Structure formats: structure tokens, C-alpha cells
Amino acid sequence: MSEADENTGHPPATRHGPEHMLERLIFFSDAVFAIAITLLVIEIHVPHLERGASDADFLYALAVLTPNFIGFIVSFYVIGAFWGGHHRAFGCAAHYSEKLVPANITLLLTIAAMPFFTAFLSTYSNQRVPVVLYCCWLLLTALLNIRLVRLATSPPVVDPSVPAATIATIRRRGFATVLGAVTAIVVGLFAPLPILAQTSLLSIPLWRMLLNQFAKKTA
């Protein structure tokens, strides 16, 4: 208890106001990201083998789970990347706005559903519909992320002291994810092996580099 509280006998003051509401929004978002990224591994079920199974049986059972492990790794980094973008964007925020709530909740909805789409993709990794559906969900998440990032890095939310170049860089990262997701959708629709769409998600860093180069040339 603080000295003022000891003198007055009143309970400690409860934090409130716009800044406190912004903190609560960020803490809640962090919790959803953490839960979603943890649920990914729950979809990888331990294989059941009969007592006395050979080493070859165990190795085969693990090999069968390869698509599940690939899906887990891909989605782990995907969700981690979105959390990183959320962290960077709200690191620029200094004020609360009611517009943040629906935009943030909608983004978190897509993040929370990612374990399902990952499991669907992993179970049917060679089928076009699950692969393209996963990439479409990723595109939707990326578009909603752009909307939220723009709100968090625009007045009246953004801290006026944040450099414009920093804001521009944060926003470009979001567009790179959109372009990468679109690339993966196209590959998933037309490639002979739909699973190649997952590999196409590696184009996201490439798109980011291209957007940065374009920004430098037009600056």
C-alpha cells in the first residue's frame, strides 16, 4: 500500500481511462495469439501402435505425420508473424479509440480459427480445396491485419512522435503478406501439386524486399 493509501485508509486506486483500455486490448490480443499458437500442436496426435511394435513401425508412424508437422511449423511462424506485426503496430499507439475494438476482434477471430484450417490442410495436404482454403484464410487474415495496423498507426491513435518512415515500413510488411498469400492461392489453383502452395508462402519475405526497394526508389 502506498503512503497516500496508508494516510487516507482508502484502497489503492484502480487504473482506468483510455490508456488503460488500450493496455487491456493489447493484453487480451496477446492471450489469443498465445492460445492459438499453442493449439496448433494439439492437432498433432500421438500415433497409436500395438505393444511390441518394431522400430520400423514407429518410424513409419512418425513419417505419416510429416504433413502435420509441416503444417504446424508453417502456421506457427504465420501466427508468430501476425503477432509480431500486431506488436509493432501497437508499439506506435499512444491513445485508445473505439474503432480499434471491432477491427482487433475480427482479426483475432481469424487467428483463433487458424488451428482448424491447419489441421484440415495437414490431413488432406495433397488435395486442392484444403490447400487453397488455407491460403484464402491467410489472405483474409492479412487483409484484416492491414486494416487494424492502419488504425493503430493513424491519428488519433498513433503517437505523434513516431517517424513516418517507421509507420510506412510497418504497413508495407502487411502488404507483403497479402501478396504472398495471393501468390500461394494462384499456385494452389493451377500447380499440378497443390501442396506447392505452402512453399509459395516463402515468397512473403521476397515481396517485402521488393516493396522496400520500390519505396526507396519512389522516396
| Digitized pLDDT (tens) for each residue of the chain, 219 residues in all | 444 444 545 444 445 556 789 999 999 999 999 999 999 999 898 998 888 889 999 999 999 999 999 999 999 999 999 999 999 999 999 999 999 999 999 999 999 999 999 999 999 988 999 999 999 999 999 999 999 999 999 999 999 999 999 999 999 999 999 999 999 999 999 998 888 898 899 899 999 999 999 999 887
Model pLDDT, residue 96: 94
CATH class of 15-218: mainly alpha
Strand intervals (E) in 35-155: none
Q: Cα(21)–Cα(63) distance, rounded to whole angstroms?
A: 47
Alpha-carbon distances of 86 from 37, 58, 108, 172, rounded to whole Å:
15, 40, 11, 13
Model pLDDT, residue 218: 87
Q: 3-state SS of 93-104?
A: ECCCCCCHHHHH
Model pLDDT, residue 90: 96
Give the closest residue to 31 by CA, choosing from 70, 101, 83. Answer: 83
Q: Which residue type does 40 have?
A: L
Q: Are 33 and 90 in contact (CB under 8 A)?
A: no
Model pLDDT, residue 69: 93
Give the closest residue to 188 by CA, choosing from 153, 138, 148, 113. Answer: 138
